[in-house]
A and B are shown apart, each in its own frame.
Chain A
Amino acid sequence: RKEVEQDPGPFNVPEGATVAFNCTYSNSASQSFFWYRQDCRKEPKLLMSVYSSGNEDGRFTAQLNRASQYISLLIRDSKLSDSATYLCVVNKGSGDSNYQLIWGAGTKLIIKP
């Protein structure tokens, strides 16, 4: 089983629709969770961190479910510019491994006009 699993997609979604991705992780010791965005042939960039209580940033909402070990990303009113690959990222654990990140392979999103 992969440490971080994501549906690779692609998700083909019409502009203006709402789309949601889930990601599962295997290490119960993980303490920090992120969504990064990666455009084609570019570097990953932080989209948002995911906090225990859930958090929202504009059209984006992230949720964490520790009991089931998954995190989710919801994008409302999707824009053409949201087309990208979304990477689920989890820290390796506590102590010395705190800052080491485990990366999912990503979910590809294509927004169509």
Chain B
Amino acid sequence: NAGVTQTPKFRVLKTGQSMTLLCAQDMNHEYMYWYRQDPGMGLRLIHYSVGEGTTAKGEVPDGYNVSRLKKQNFLLGLESAAPSQTSVYFCASSSGGGPYNEQFFGPGTRLTVL
């Protein structure tokens, strides 16, 4: 039982390049989330999904797109990377949308955009 996994762990991009971050969970969770974490700031929600085939915008969605074609996978895409997208990206999942559903996190992807 691997929990939540993320690939890649590290990536360096040049401005304007594109990439996709993959998140996978084996806990059969309905809800999945993408966050970014920047120094001195709390985690900020980029996009989330409440089930297979659904996605919704979070707090900071601009410059990102997502897809949830399979229940266990949640992909985050950067179409044209910018230096402002240098950050640590965390994927999380939870079993439901109730108020006390724990979110389980992947190990993170450290992205640098030059």
Contact = CB atoms under 8 A, between A and B. Distances in A.
Interface of A: 4, 8, 31-32, 42-46, 49, 87, 91, 98-106
Nearest to B45: A100
Contacts of A98: 97-99
Contact of A43 (B58, B98, B100, B106): B106
B41 A105 contact: yes
Given A32-B99, A105-B40, A44 B90 contact: yes
Interchain residue pairs A-B with the least CB separation, the first 4: A103-B42, A32-B99, A43-B105, A99-B97
Contact of B98 (A44, A99, A100): A99
Interface of B: 31, 35, 40-45, 48, 58, 90, 94, 96-103, 105-108
A4 B44 CA distance: 12
Given A8-B40, A105-B40, A99 B101 contact: yes
A91 B90 contact: no
A106 B72 CA distance: 30
B42 A102 contact: yes
A42 B6 CA distance: 13
A71 to B, nearest CB: 14
A100 B43 CA distance: 12
Nearest to A3: B42
